[in-house]
Each structure stands twice: as C-alpha cells, then as structure tokens.
C-alpha cells in the first residue's frame, strides 16, 4: 500500500524509501505506476469532431 501511495502522491521521500527498502522491487513498482496513469485521450476522436 505504501508503494501505491508514494506513486499516487509522487513524493520523492516515498520513492526513495521504496528504492532503499528493495531496489529490485523498485523497477516493478515503477512499471505498475505507469499503469496507474490515466490513458491519453485519443487524438483521432478529437480530430473527427473538428471535421465537418
């Protein structure tokens, strides 16, 4: 839970603490952190709205 909170808050202390606790786990948490980010809005849909 601490790793999820650190990535949601994006605190340097939480990231450093996770790295110091388990360096090998840091890379796995970083990959999971990317999945927590919201997907970017599709550009084709936005462009379709501007077209007549």
pLDDT in tens, the chain (52 residues): 455 555 555 555 555 565 555 555 556 655 655 555 555 655 555 555 555 5
Cβ atoms of 25 and 18 within 8 Å: the answer is: yes
Q: Where are the domains of the chain?
A: 2-50
Block residue for tokens 């999820």: 4
Q: Which of 46, 49, 39, 35 is nearest to 3 (CA)?
A: 35
CA 6, 36, 14 angle in degrees (round to 5)? 10
Count of alpha carbons within 13 angstroms of residue 39, beta-carbon side = 3
């Amino acid at each position: 839970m601490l790793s999820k909170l650190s990535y949601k808050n994006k605190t340097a202390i939480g990231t450093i603490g996770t790295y110091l606790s388990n360096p090998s786990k840091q890379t796995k948490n970083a990959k999971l952190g990317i999945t927590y980010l919201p997907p970017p809005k599709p550009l084709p849909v936005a462009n379709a709205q501007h077209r007549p």
